[in-house]
Structure 1
Amino acid sequence: MVAVTTIGLVVACGPQLDPVSLPAPAGVTLSATPTVEGSSGATGTPDATEPSATAAAQPAVTTTKPPTVERRTVTETKQIPFSTRTVNDATLAKGTKKTKTKGVAGVKTLTYELTLTDGKQTGKKLVKETVTKAPVTQVVAVGTKAASRCDPNYGGCVPIASDVDCAGGSGNGPAYVTGPVKVIGDDIYGLDNDGDGYGCDS
């Protein structure tokens, strides 16, 4: 007796046909091995070269060092400018000025808090201000005395004019003085005729 194996074939192209059973040749046994669609071989084993989702590269993790913050206290000194005050002085000729008290600048000490981030200054705050030396006010006297109408070359008061003569004499002025008057500078009016240091004394 001869064994007969029936195989089923499916034709993919053209209209779908019913499976046809064909007898195998005498002494031959035929069998069909199924294949898996998309496989790289006839055994149905998946492609080993296909990348796995779990094998994807993970991003590198970096750590940032927190900044180093430091606070320091420093002091500085600064000048305080002096002020000036004026006062009237009746002993000085009008319009003249004289310093009676010389001004002196003062000194103050300033205390600051500095903030340093990674060694660089990033903040500065004034926390204290102290006057260590008070300034001295400068005092200036301003003269209010009316200008003298007397010639400074003579004691007493010989008027200032283009010419002065002794009153009661033969001179024609235009100004006159009653003597005696002491000559303390130059006898610009010629009042001391005898050279004894006094004018209009005879």
Structure 2
Amino acid sequence: MAPPRQSWWGRLSRGARVAVVAAGVMVLCCCGGVAIGAVTDPPASTDKKDAAPASSAPVNGGEAAAPAPAVADLATPSATASPTEAAPSESPSPSPQVRIRTVTATQKIAYSTRTVKDSTLAEGTTKVRTRGVAGVRTLTYQVTLTDGVETGRKLVRSVVTKAPVTQVVAVGTKQTRQCDPNYSGACVPIASDVDCSGGSGNGPAYVDGPVYVVGRDIYDLDRDGDGVGCD
């Protein structure tokens, strides 16, 4: 039976092994890596093929994976949180300005008319004895103004500050006598019959003479035919 085959590591002396490990440590330190290991003898060889030394084999034909960066390097510095600006709130609409004012106004008062009979005036004629004058009423209002605009009005007082004057109109009642144009001198009224005053006639109308007949003697006042009646 042939003796077992030794690997190249097995054929090295202990001092050579230490030198190789030290050289590997220096290479790793120069490349920025950290090597932690213990110099130990490799396991005893077996009949099976020597196991290949562990190495960082490239993945899918690529280069060996670089050591993962420290957690502190991966941490992304958090952005400084700025205080959230509060949205400007809408200012409340201003309340309406309400004011109360007192306002006065005047109003005319129409005068009335009164009629009276006047026997000194001819019947059917009129005459103003007292001229009418309009009166004045003073009104006081309570006015409500909202933002300068009138929105309400209330009457709080009504006083007659000037009384009206009543107009007085006189109406004539005097009856005027109409004289018959057939006579002159005294006025012979126009009636159904006229007699001389103090005579025996029964009227209904009478005349004081003398009267002169200038036309027809329709009332038969000239009894003796001399042209003068009621003499």
Per the normalisation by structure 1, the TM-score is: 0.51
* Partners of 1:106 and 1:134 within 8 A in 2: yes
Please say if 1:157 is aligned against 2:187: yes
Provide Cα deviations, 1:77-131, integer angstroms capped at 9, x if missing partner.
2221101122333332221101122212212111111222223333322111001
Provide the residue aligned with 1:73 in structure 2.
Answer: 102
Please say if 1:102 is aligned against 2:153: no
Cα-Cα RMSD: 4.5
Please say if 1:2 is aligned against 2:2: no
Unaligned runs of 5+ in 1: 8-21, 34-42, 49-53, 161-165, 179-190, 192-198
Q: Aligned equivalents of 2:172 and 2:211: distance in 1?
A: 37
Provide the residue aligned with 1:145 in structure 2.
Answer: 174
* Partners of 2:185 and 2:211 within 8 A in 1: no
Provide Cα deviations, 1:52-85, integer angstroms capped at 9, x if missing partner.
xx97984642332212111111222222110112
Identity of paired residues, percent? 48
Q: Aligned equivalents of 1:170 and 1:81: distance in 2?
A: 58
Q: Aligned equivalents of 2:211 and 2:64: distance in 1?
A: 182
Provide the residue aligned with 1:85 in structure 2.
Answer: 114
Q: Aligned equivalents of 2:164 and 2:213: distance in 1?
A: 65
Please say if 1:173 is aligned against 2:216: yes
Q: Secondary structure at the match of 2:136?
A: strand
Per-residue deviation at 1:146? Answer: 3.0
Provide Cα deviations, 1:177-198, integer angstroms capped at 9, x if missing partner.
97xxxxxxxxxxxx9xxxxxxx
**By percentage of residues, which structure has more helix?**
2
Per-residue deviation at 1:140? Answer: 0.9
Per the normalisation by structure 2, the TM-score is: 0.45
Q: 1:62 aligns with which of 80, 91, 97?
A: 91
Larger Rg, first or second structure (1 or 2)? 2
Q: Aligned equivalents of 1:64 and 1:94: distance in 2?
A: 79
Q: Secondary structure at the match of 1:79?
A: strand
Q: Which amino acid aligns with 1:2?
A: P
Per-residue deviation at 1:3? Answer: 2.3
Q: Aligned equivalents of 2:93 and 2:211: distance in 1?
A: 113
* Partners of 1:5 and 1:24 within 8 A in 2: no
Distance 1:201 1:146, change over 3 A: closer
Provide Cα deviations, 1:35-56, integer angstroms capped at 9, x if missing partner.
xxxxxxxx8x8xx9xxxxx979
Q: Aligned equivalents of 1:168 and 1:138: distance in 2?
A: 46
Distance 1:170 1:102, change over 3 A: closer
Q: Which amino acid aligns with 1:3?
A: A
Unaligned runs of 5+ in 2: 1-51, 69-73, 191-208, 222-226
* Partners of 2:57 and 2:64 within 8 A in 1: no
* Partners of 2:186 and 2:210 within 8 A in 1: no
Q: 2:147 aligns with which of 96, 118, 123?
A: 118
Provide Cα deviations, 1:142-173, integer angstroms capped at 9, x if missing partner.
2233342148xx8853447xxxxx87867443
